[in-house]
Amino acid sequence: MQKRFFLQAVALAAVSLTVTGAMAQDNTFKIGLILPMTGQQATTGRQIEAAARLYMAQHGDTVAGKKIQLIVKDDTSLPDATRRLAQELVVNDKVNVLAGFGITPSAMATAPIATQSKTPMVVMAAATSSITQASPYVVRTSFTLPQASVALADWAPKNGIKKVVTLVSDYGPGLDAEKYFKERLTFNGGQVTESLRVPLRGPDFAPFLQKVRDAKPDALFVFVPSGAGAAVMKQFAERGLDKAGIKLIGTGDVTDDDQLADMGDVALGVVTSHHYSAAHPSALNKKFVEEFTKANKGLRPNFMAVGGYDGMRVIYEALKISKGQGGGDALLAGMKGQIFESPRGKMFIDAQTRDVVQDIYLRKVEKKDGQLYNVEFDVIKDVKDPGKAK
């Protein structure tokens, strides 16, 4: 019986080998969008895909005489899967650009492919500083954690926050945030009394927050991947840290627009620094938020979405500049140095580092017409990624 089963399997294999053969037409311009669409990072994928599709809907799908084709792949945030998919997209589907990349390892694993195949690789989410150094073909349109955390470290001391405990998720971005926040804060005369790292899959924050409470700092600086933010704030309040006079500050991931609406009053007054808020007061952003929400049954765009949106913008413009001629390098050249207004505000792609340079806003969570928003009250202009300085 197993023999029969086995031959069946082989047959199935043969069939699907012939079925899924990819053929590339010349006048199409293919964007391979690799994202975590399932598993714990799924939201990232959804936001970015939605934003990308929105951009195409708004700006048409023909650029420089080429038909834009978006190929979405799910890497289940497994780096080796990301890499394989990228490789297949490059080799089989002959994509012109790789884009997406939800988590740092995925981006890191794929970078060599970009280099080897001279395919530009637009990072729309992953935020560890070092990614852009992994390959000369990496261009980032999201943000880096040093950017966000440094801005906060500048603001804090001016506002009577001297003693801070940091609490970050124990992986690349978290460590970045911890490192640069600490450096800048000490530079500004503040001090980090304790640095806590929570395991990525640690379900309960209680013990850590208890530790914070016992340490009695002026403020708690938090970075956790979007999603976990809500839990932190609730338990922060439940543990009475706010009553104990401890402020909660963090990068914008904590008050992710994606969920802010459901977080409830515990989030009120939380001060974060980030590059994008759905409440950013600009015509462009209003339009963006409106149409995004409309297109996705009420889902509010978050910083991931804007990363995807601007990523598409960068690709479109680069294609225009290169007139669809000359492969990856021409495209890359077109991406470098782009300056434009994004829903997040003014931003540009640094020609040297290929990393995003943008304004970082300080925001406080407030109620606007019944809903919670990150309302920007201060801005630090043109923040380069401090990670590149060293």
By CB under 8 A, the residues from 302 to 361 that bind other proteins are none
Q: Which of 97, 148, 198, 365 binds other proteins (CB under 8 A)?
A: 198
Closest to other proteins by CB, 9 or 351:
9
Cβ contact 327:118 at 8 Å: yes
Q: Taking contact as CB under 8 A, which single stretch among the options 143-151, 195-203, 343-351, 361-369 is the one that binds other proteins?
A: 195-203
4 lies in the site for other proteins, by CB under 8 A: yes
Buried b (16+ CB within 10 A) or exposed e, 350-362: beebbbbbbbbbb
Partners of residue 214 on adjacent β-strands: none
Q: What is the DSSP string of 319-358?
A: HHHHTT-S-HHHHHHHHTT-EEEETTEEEEE-TTT--EEE
Cβ contact 134:111 at 8 Å: yes
Residues 76-105 that bind other proteins (CB under 8 A): 78-80, 83-84, 87-88, 90-92, 104-105
Per-residue x/- track, 100-139, other proteins (CB under 8 A): ----xx--xx-xxx--xx----------x-x---x-----
Q: What does the alpha-carbon distance between residue 197 and residue 202 come to, in Å, rounded to a whole number?
A: 10
Closest to other proteins by CB, 57 or 200:
200
Q: Is 94 left (phi over 0), alpha (psi -120 to 50) or beta?
A: left
The CA distances from residue 177 to 143, 163, 168, 183, 387, in Å, are 12, 17, 8, 10, 10
- Min dist CB 154 to other proteins, Å, is 26
Residues 251-290 that bind other proteins (CB under 8 A): 258-259, 262-264
Q: Which of 59, 187, 238, 340 binds other proteins (CB under 8 A)?
A: 238
Per-residue x/- track, 132-151, other proteins (CB under 8 A): --x-----------------
Residues 204-223 that bind other proteins (CB under 8 A): 204, 206-208, 210-211, 213
370 lies in the site for other proteins, by CB under 8 A: no
Closest to other proteins by CB, 31 or 362:
31
- Min dist CB 163 to other proteins, Å, is 18
Residues 157-176 that bind other proteins (CB under 8 A): 170-172, 175
- Min dist CB 368 to other proteins, Å, is 19
For residue 102, the 8-state DSSP code is -
Number of residues that bind other proteins (CB under 8 A): 89
Q: What does the alpha-carbon distance between residue 277 and residue 374 come to, in Å, rounded to a whole number?
A: 6
Q: What does the alpha-carbon distance between residue 188 and residue 202 come to, in Å, rounded to a whole number?
A: 32
Burial of 156 (0-12, 13-18, 19+ CB in 10 A): buried
Q: Which two tokens stand for residue 81?
A: 């899967």
- Min dist CB 118 to other proteins, Å, is 11
